[in-house]
Structure 1
Amino acid sequence: MPAADAKDRRAFVREAPDRRRQDLIEATLALIGEHGFEAATVRAIAERANVTQGLIRHYFQTKDDLICAAYAQHMEAMTGLGLAPADGPGDALDRLRKVLAASVRAEVANPRNLTLWASFIARVPASDPIRQTHERTYLAFRDALQTLITDALAETGCPVPARDARRLAILCNAVIDGLWIEGGALPDHLSEEDLVTLVLDAASTLLSLPLSRGDRP
């Protein structure tokens, strides 16, 4: 038993630094989400995470590094929710339908996510690291969407070249973006049910695929 206790203590020590780093990222996102980008000062982040300002410099060389890490986590979380069904069961058409629906559900399309996204996106033109994070997460989602579209069209006997699949993925992604932004901004006017129905109807028209709820067997 003593040996096991010592092992547990060592494991805790190894995990603690990662937990503190995560606390700093979560504190940054919370401040931006609640009060806007300017509220995320080094002092406020340290107070929110219940650490010293010096500890922030231990994990992040600059405040910009912390901001970029927070943005990366936020975007990866949102795209992860949308793409979660991509590797699940079902044929490509069914998985595409589930990805489209997941991308506008309340876990993604909500006021907090919209506030965070808007705060960061305004800094894309002026910040290379934030722009690179935005580009990486955008392309990851778009490329996954393109793969699903390619496979779904091939399954239904309508294969398309990569150039056309890319164009269709960009169009579908634009529809998703528009709907989740409006859903996050006006949740009282667009329910989750509305958003899912709209994204499936729009994608069904764009792709000439039976994606709408009325098309299900």
Structure 2
Amino acid sequence: MNPPAAELGSIPVLVGLIAITVVFAVVHQGFLSAYNVEALVIQAAPIIVMAMGLVFVLLLGETDLSAGTTGGLCSAITAVLILRQGASWWLALIVGLLAGLIIGFGMGWLRARVGIPSFVITLATFLTFQGVTLILIGGQGSVILPGNSPLIKLENSFVPLWLGWTLLVLLVIGYAAIKVNDALGRRRAGSPTRPSR
């Protein structure tokens, strides 16, 4: 019996990231400056958060085309409640989060219970949510929160350095603990330490 083929895992992604970084660093000398790296992290943060949620969808072999428009719709709901309805920022934020929760459960129910393919559901909601967002925003095309809004201040504030390092250490320790526990469980069960596919 032939041994299982080695899986590359995340190696191609890391190689691609390194290659892109090298190319841009050569093309523009300021690419690796502290200011630019900080700006890239801040700009990528919302996309990273949504991508983390999409990982679970992809692991199940499903597709979600409407994650971006769903986030945009919930953001529009929050902004419209604050600016046009006079709601407090925390109430509008809760309503926006609840809207996202209801939308997610609704699409999950249609997939799990009704059996509609996720591609069809999310494509339909992608188009629908774009229209609903445009209706909410109106002819202006955007909703701009005032600079003194608590949400703007929250967005522009930074996590203290000590808290960032603490979270990183806790993340590494938690990941290591999960891996060690998994290896010990496999050893107690008599199965190989590294799972084979």
Larger radius of gyration: 2
Which structure dedicates a bigger proportion of its chain to helix? 1
TM-score range, shorter chain: under 0.3
TM-score, normalising length from structure 2? Answer: 0.28
